[in-house]
């Protein structure tokens, strides 16, 4: 995870000979700095965008041109925003399975105020699922998480901090709504369904105004109970690296 929060989102998935930039919400200069901090030298093979909000897609066209790589997005996202520079984006259905290089990707629609997808990445028997920017847990979400080694899940806000905080009422209602963002408590509901395969849980997209890493982690630990998964909290500009899979054929989610 290179950046996670309302200031911009981006992460790298490395698997086999493939390097994917997932979301492009930070400019090239910032991305260069974050990649250097993460010690990632490989040029991305492709860019995959989850949805049309600027903190996830604003720099996709710029980066596509810079690296001369394709952008993959859902048909709804393609209609909403220009992503591919001079290249036409490669479109996938919001509920589909597709392949980018050595990585198999399963997309599932999740509820947000623009069309949004959760993405599950699989390579060499290891898998990770990314789900941020969702206001509720949709039907079939537990099955989408099942068997994953790494779960990267939004834990956006503490409900009390949100409602007691400085946001105007209309924005509080949007964030807390069923097409907004997951609260720590809602994230806990999802974590209670995890099977024992999950090795790592990463809390994503924390609000810097309406949450703290300590509150998010405490709620997640309570929900996980005796589950053996390691817990990580991603931050806006920190670097979080999780490795999984066999030692030689490992998959790095950085």
Please write the tens of the pLDDT for every residue from 61-77.
999 999 999 999 999 99
Please write the tens of the pLDDT for every residue from 173-225.
999 999 999 999 999 999 999 999 999 999 999 999 999 999 999 999 999 99
Predicted local confidence at residue 109, as pLDDT = 98
Q: Residue range 220-240: average pLDDT?
A: 97
- The structure tokens listed for 231 are 């817990």
Predicted local confidence at residue 244, as pLDDT = 85
Predicted local confidence at residue 124, as pLDDT = 94
Lowest mean pLDDT among 13-17, 46-50, 76-80, 226-230: 76-80
Please write the tens of the pLDDT for every residue from 125-177.
999 999 999 999 999 999 999 999 999 999 999 999 999 999 999 999 999 99
Kindly give the pairing relationship between strand 200-204 and strand 150-154. parallel
Q: Which residues contact 244 (CB under 8 A, 6 or more apart)?
A: 126, 128, 149, 150, 199, 200, 250, 251, 253
Task: Give residue 81's pLDDT band: very low, low, confident or very high (50, 70, 90).
Answer: confident
Residue 86 clears pLDDT 80, i.e. is over it: no
Topology adopted by domain 11-253: Metallo-beta-lactamase; Chain A (3.60.15)
CA triplet 173, 179, 181: central angle to 5 degrees? 75
Q: Residue range 107-111: average pLDDT?
A: 98
Predicted local confidence at residue 35, as pLDDT = 96
CA triplet 183, 75, 73: central angle to 5 degrees? 65
Predicted local confidence at residue 49, as pLDDT = 97
Residue 28 clears pLDDT 80, i.e. is over it: yes
Rounded percentage of the chain residues whose pLDDT exceeds 90: 91
Predicted local confidence at residue 84, as pLDDT = 63
Task: Give residue 252's pLDDT band: very low, low, confident or very high (50, 70, 90).
Answer: very low
Query: Distance between CA 176 and CA 163 in Å, rounded?
Result: 9
Predicted TM-score of the model (pTM): 0.94
Q: Where are the domains positioned within the chain? A: 11-253
Nearest to 157 by CA among 205, 211, 212, 111: 211
Element (H, E) at 215: helix 213-224
């Amino acid at each position: 995870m290179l950046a996670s929060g309302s200031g911009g989102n981006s992460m790298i998935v490395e698997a086999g000979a493939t390097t994917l930039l997932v979301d492009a919400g930070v400019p090239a200069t910032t991305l260069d700095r974050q990649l250097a901090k993460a010690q990632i030298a490989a040029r991305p093979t492709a860019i995959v965008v989850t949805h049309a909000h600027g903190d996830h897609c604003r720099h996709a066209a710029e980066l596509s041109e810079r690296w001369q790589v394709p952008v993959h997005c859902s048909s709804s996202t393609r209609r909403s925003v220009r992503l591919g520079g001079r290249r036409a984006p490669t479109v996938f259905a919001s509920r589909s399975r597709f392949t980018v290089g050595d990585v198999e990707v399963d997309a599932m629609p999740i509820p947000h105020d623009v069309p949004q997808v959760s993405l599950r990445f699989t390579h060499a028997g290891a898998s990770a699922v990314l789900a941020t920017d969702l206001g509720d847990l949709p039907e079939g979400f537990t099955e989408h998480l099942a068997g994953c080694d790494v779960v990267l899940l939004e834990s956006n806000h503490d409900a009390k901090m949100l409602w007691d905080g400085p946001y105007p009422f209309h924005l509080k209602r949007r964030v807390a709504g069923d097409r907004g963002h997951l609260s720590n408590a809602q994230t806990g509901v999802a974590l209670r369904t995890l099977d024992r395969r999950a090795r790592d849980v990463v809390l994503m997209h924390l609000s810097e105004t309406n949450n703290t890493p300590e509150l998010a982690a405490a709620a997640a630990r309570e929900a996980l109970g005796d589950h053996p998964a390691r817990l990580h909290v991603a931050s806006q500009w920190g670097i979080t690296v999780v490795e999984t899979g066999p030692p030689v054929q490992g998959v790095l989610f950085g």
